[in-house]
Structure 1
């Protein structure tokens, strides 16, 4: 009799543990899928399938990705949104939408529509012939049509409603467009151009919600003046070669954009709360500044990229014959524009409270 009671007690303990685990998993998997839009910070390889010089599907890119595969991500490994996808429990990494080999199950848990070199300004993607933000939205509409054919309209609507949408763009609008070409500078002051971009952000987010998106996180601009490429192009010879200090005037532009973006997103959250929408501001600026200024973390090289000289190389300029540092984890930047996998990982960890705030009820 004593043995029977012990056995029953053990079964009760096992049952309670299983119930606790199941409940915890339920709380942490309130996301059906993850969808990304934007530029190279969110592009896992869509540019592989279009005619553009803005590609990274070759060595040494992907050197630290699983199986050392150069997927088309503009870094040595994973992106921020790969780590977020794993955190919310939908997949290990986010594939590119344009990969025609993806199965229905792979599509069902989310894809990225982003394109390296793109931006909110319609002129920006034309510079390197990449996929515009508006075209990315069109591709999302095609995605929905595919899913409706595969799993039905109602299930697709529920999938979209419970999905996490990530939007990350804007840096190319300044670095590759406004600061490099004269076209926009003729008609816009820097502040006016920032407002011009944010009008496009607002319009895009409204269109995304019209398509059923309800959980949206929008990234701010990283510290633009600390990009190795920007330091090189905006410094005198001494700073460009030896000191390589951040260009404060350029980072100030990013700060102004970020301030206005945060206010705009707060206003949008109020405007669209009745739809059940949750719109979050993702601060990638602060953790990256902390890395660069040595406030946190343990990076040794913060003003040059790991690839080449690390001051001007990115995309095809960082290639199989380039010098590459032996240990990218010591660097904040992989090439002259894009952070390393380690930096992306640390940023992703800093973003988790924000992500949880819109994905957990």
Structure 2
């Protein structure tokens, strides 16, 4: 598979969910305007724009050097040097430039009506992952969505609220922390309870199914759920699980196999949740990331196994901070810290999709 093909696969389905139920398209300056009501996002740090700023947790990114390349160099709580894929998507479909965190107390009703993120960094599908790290569980995020709906009903009425919820696009991105911070992390609880990784996969699926059903019960019609990346290629995982993490850094293949098997299970099981009038779409994140790592020069990258922040070996969260030295050119790096991608990676993915998406939405 060509690199461009795999980039196309990563978020094409996720973006498609944001307009699949739209019946009207307006033509303006040769661009298509997608008529959807809002975007709602759930998951972990890949899609958290700053909810953890308002939680008692150390898993925050509201301080430099995070946000180095964000507007006005503001550290918003996004675990990157800049914007996230969901920000680019929200701007593209005409909702807002950056999708805000639901817990931000300064949000206006207009902010809320066009969509927010309920995601919480360091969270996962396994409730233990979230609890250990002080993050919101997926069910707590769902409860916040219910709270959101109640707020809207008071302000604009039930009919308008139901219309927004029905015509909105939903994105779910989580799972990495369940492996990186939990199952293969410092705690032995889940490895003891589920000594076979496939059993842990099934436990995760039980939680995913419960969450998705809850979202459907609340009125969601179209949901995009993203798989997990090649966790064996995350710089932190290479450092923690390699015998030669300084002199011979390379992806940990057995951990990548865990990602592939989980993604296959997720893709297969999602088919059983589809009902009339709803659509649940799987988005592949594994192939694009692995291709960036293995074919780095095609994307202008030079460093794919270290982060830009600090040594790039282990720094993330509070270890990437005011005192951390940064790489000379972040555009040459796939990873901003030892876990999270750079804005360039997110933007590269978005830009690779734009033409394809415009072509898709012009179809009858």
Q: What residue is the counterpart of 1:314 in the other structure?
A: 316
Provide the residue aligned with 2:189 in structure 1.
Answer: 183
Evaluate the alpha carbon distance shift between residue 230 and residue 130 of structure 1 in structure 2; reply closer, same or farther with a 3 A threshold: same
Instruction: Verify the 8 A CA contact 1:62 1:71 in the aligned structure 2.
Output: yes
CA shift, 1:348, in A, is: 3.3
User: 8 Å contact 1:288–1:347 — kept in the other structure?
Assistant: no
- Of 236, 247, 252, which aligns to 1:229? 236
Q: Does 1:327 align with 2:329?
A: yes
1:99: how far off? 0.4
Q: How does 1:294-309 map to 2 (within 5 A)?
A: 294=295, 296-309=298-311
Task: Pick the structure with more helix per residue.
Answer: 1
Equivalent of 2:41 in 25, 31, 36: 36
Q: Residues of 2 paired with 1:267 and 1:102: CA distance?
A: 37
Superposed counterparts of 1:23-172, under 5 Å: 28-172=33-177
How far off is 1:277 after superposition? 1.1
Closer/same/farther in 2, CA of residues 350 and 283 from structure 1, 3 Å limit: farther
Shift of 1:267: 2.7
Find the counterpart in structure 1 of residue 220 from structure 2: 213
CA contact (8 A) 2:26 2:34 kept: no
Alignment of 1:197-276 (within 5 A): 197-236=204-243, 238=244, 240-269=245-274, 272=275, 274=276, 276=277
Compute the RMSD of aligned alpha carbons: 2.1
2:202 maps to what in 1? 195
**2:247 match: secondary structure:** helix
TM-score (norm 1): 0.89
1:257, 1:101 → 2: CA distance?
Answer: 38
In the TM superposition, structure 1's runs of 4+ consecutive aligned residues that sit over 6 Å from their partners are 354-361
Change (3 A) 1:54 1:360: farther
Instruction: Measure the CA separation in 1 of the matches of 2:97 and 2:363.
Output: 20
What SS does the corresponding residue of 2:238 show, helix, strand or coil? helix
Q: Distance in 2 between matches of 1:75 and 1:114?
A: 15
Distance of 2:360 and 2:282 partners within structure 1: 11
The separation in 2 between residues aligned to 1:179 and 1:325, in whole angstroms, is 28
Question: Compared with structure 1, are the counterparts of its residues 357 and 120 closer, same or farther at alpha carbon in structure 2 (3 Å cutoff)?
Answer: farther
Compared CA separation, residues 54 and 354, structure 1 to 2 (3 A): farther
**Structure 1 residue 266: deviation in Å?**
2.5
Q: Give the corresponding residue for 2:345.
A: 343
Higher relative contact order (CA 8 A, sep 6+): 2
The answer to whether the 8 A contact 1:85-1:93 is kept is yes
Give me the whole-angstrom Cα distance separating, in 1, the residues matched to 2:230 and 2:170.
23
User: Do 1:164 and 1:359's aligned partners in 2 also have CA atoms closer than 8 Å?
Assistant: no
Aligned to 1:282: 283
Q: What's the offset of the Cα at 1:20?
A: 7.0
Q: CA deviation at 1:356?
A: 8.9
Rg comparison, structure with higher value: 1
Determine the structure 2 residue equivalent to 1:292.
293
CA deviation string 1:278-334 (max 9, x = no partner): 211111111111111016412111000000001100010000100111321110000
Q: What residue ranges of structure 2 are gaps of 5+ in the alignment? A: 1-24
Aligned to 2:27: 21
